[in-house]
Structure 1
Amino acid sequence: MTDFLQVSTATETREQAVELARSVVVGRLAAGAQVVGPLVSVFWHEGEFGTGEEWQLLMKTRADRYAELEAHLLAHHPWKNPEVSAVPIVAGSDAYLRWVATTAGPLVGE
């Protein structure tokens, strides 16, 4: 298993995505997050085909923080069954990965 992950979800509005991003970064569940959009999503939902405009949220974290990050997203996401998925970060600059390693976790003394 890799040490670092990029975790993604999507929301209906920019404001929802920004609020989720703020909450995971302030809570140190992710080192950083980007909100991308709007984008068009094409999907099946509850047996029906659909399309819609969404805002994607991309978060960088340590693999050992994933369970807490996922739980937070599921608890605070406005949708009942949102996408929460992760892909490994297989390479990155040493300085960037050190930043993720030290930022996505409790501060010393917490």
Structure 2
Amino acid sequence: MSGIVFLYVTAPNAETAARIARSLVEEKLAACVNIHAEMRSVYEWEGKVEIGLETPLIVKTTTAAANAARDRIIALHPYEEPCVAALPVSPEGSSASFLDWIRGATKT
């Protein structure tokens, strides 16, 4: 039985986030993707501190599909270095039926 992973991703805008999310769900690389409201990001890039707006996503997938989902996100993403971070989900304290739903909706 595959574990569950949430991928934290940021996109430059809601349209890009929706395009990535739709692809992942259609290709069964994720059961669900939450697209959050725009946020402000402060980061250093090429020696300069930048402040910009980004749209965060939480991609709900399995450990078996996580690498393929990551690769698809990177392929679709316009950033030179997109944020894609895998966060393992502990079954303790999680809804077992929800985790089963993710497994069932995701290609492994």
Q: TM-score, normalised by structure 1?
A: 0.90
Partner of residue 38, structure 2: 38
- SS of the residue 1:102 aligns to: helix
Partner of residue 107, structure 2: 105
Shift, 1:94, TM fit: 1.2
Aligned partner letter, 2:12: E
Q: How many matched pairs? A: 105
- SS of the residue 1:21 aligns to: helix
Partner of residue 56, structure 1: 56
Shift, 1:62, TM fit: 0.4
Identity of aligned pairs, percent? 27
Uncovered stretches (5+) of structure 2, i.e. residues with no partner: none
Give runs of ≥4 in structure 1 deviating > 3 Å.
Answer: none
1:25-58 CA distance string (max 9 Å, x none): 1110011001012111111111110111110011
Q: TM-score, normalised by structure 2?
A: 0.92
Pairing 1:10-29 to 2, within 5 Å after superposition: 10-29=10-29
